[in-house]
Amino acid sequence: MGSTTSCCVSSSPKLRRNAHSRLESYHQDSELSREETGCNLQHISDRENVDELNMEYNPSDHPRASTIFLSKSQNDVREKRKSLFINNHGTSRRKYSSCSTIFLDDNTVSQPNLKYTIKCVALAIYYHIKNRDTDGGMLLDIFDEKLHPLSKSEVPLDYDKHDPEQKQIYRFVRTLFSAAQLTAECAIVTLVYLERLLTYAEIDICPGNWKRIVLGAILLASKVWDDQAVWNVDYCQILKDITVEDMNELERQFLELLQFNINVPSSVYAKYYFDLRSLSESNNLSFPLEPLSRDKAQKLEAISRLCDDKYKDIRRAARNRSASMDNLCGIRWVPAILS
């Protein structure tokens, strides 16, 4: 209770400096109040508002903060929409539902489509690299492909100068997911860990480190999400020229840079899922739509009826409970009598 910094420091290194600066200014002002009032405790509101004020810096921790990849893609999306409008003369090829036909995709927040989710994640990583804040910024040694190559082939001298294409990123991620038999949910968690790393470690993903950063995020996400995780030695079977010691060191340093914060709340997961859907629609990478068949309609109706019965039981149980007088003071509407 006596320490004013123990409960105010944020988990991010960037936010830690901001938190200390706020605490120092508060410390100077509070010395005067201690002399006048004799109070030695910091007010609880000053301890709790630090993270809320810096919420925008932690999109991977807070559900209300906008994702980094979506903001980085805005400029490119505007140009693509403009060019598509000009080339197609304002016409759209998107399918729309009608009274006779309803178009649905097989992609939901609980069961995402694996192929298109990987495509969306690869596109998000592409925008991260293309629209990075710094050009040739700081490279941590553990992620540098020159120091830790993933193959025995010689790394070119300009390996960190040319941005990878979206297809190259997609092939790299798809190879790992196909060989390790990972799920679509793991791809979303991979993107969460990637943006958390960039925020916490204050680094940029660039042509010289993107493969090892993505590999570390996939490695960690597979262990956290899947019940039967892929071992590090299994990745050595996928990437033939990498050693187990290198994989272990990559995982260890990745965790340290995340400050061992591997928690992904359901609200954050849902935010990344829907932002990936928005990114796909903005880049004409929409999920395939199919007409609603009779079998799917019956399944949806059965699920809806099951949920309706469940909530009816909950409402009936809540109605049978006894209520105190505090809950009986609400406004009640009665029909007016006009004479």
Domain assignment of residue 315, yes or no: no
Q: What would the mean pLDDT of 7-12 be, rounded to a whole number?
A: 43
Domain assignment of residue 331, yes or no: no
The rounded Cα 172 to chain-centroid distance in angstroms is 20
Q: What would the mean pLDDT of 65-73 be, rounded to a whole number?
A: 89
Helix 44-53 vs helix 13-37: crossing angle, to nearest 10: 160
* Contact partners, residue 301, CB within 8 Å, separation at least 6: none
Domain assignment of residue 84, yes or no: no
| Contacts of range 19-24, beta carbons closer than 8 Å, 24 or more positions apart | 19/50, 19/54, 22/50
Q: What is the CATH number of the domain that holds 206?
A: 1.10.472.10
User: Range of 187's domain?
Assistant: 109-283
Helix 266-282 vs helix 74-87: crossing angle, to nearest 10: 30
- Minimum mean pLDDT range among 35-39, 57-61, 208-212, 243-247: 35-39
Domain assignment of residue 75, yes or no: no
| Confidence class for position 184, pLDDT limits 50, 70, 90 | very high
The pLDDT value given to residue 177? 94
Instruction: Show the 3-state SS of 89-118.
Output: CCCCCCCCCCCCCCEECCCCCCCCCHHHHH
The pLDDT value given to residue 64? 87
Dihedral sign (CA 292, 294, 295, 297): positive
- Number of structural domains (the chain) is 1
Higher pLDDT, 255 or 229: 255
The pLDDT value given to residue 153? 85
Asked if the model's pLDDT at residue 109 lies above 60, the reply is yes
Domain assignment of residue 171, yes or no: yes
Q: What would the mean pLDDT of 63-88 be, rounded to a whole number?
A: 73
Q: What DSSP string runs through 226-243?
A: -SSPPPHHHHHHHSTT--
Domain assignment of residue 23, yes or no: no
Domain assignment of residue 94, yes or no: no
Closest CA to 11 of 217, 197, 248: 197
Closest CA to 63 of 324, 269, 212, 217: 269
Domain assignment of residue 204, yes or no: yes
In Å, how far are 148, 186, 212 from 145, measured between CA atoms?
5, 24, 7
| Confidence class for position 75, pLDDT limits 50, 70, 90 | confident
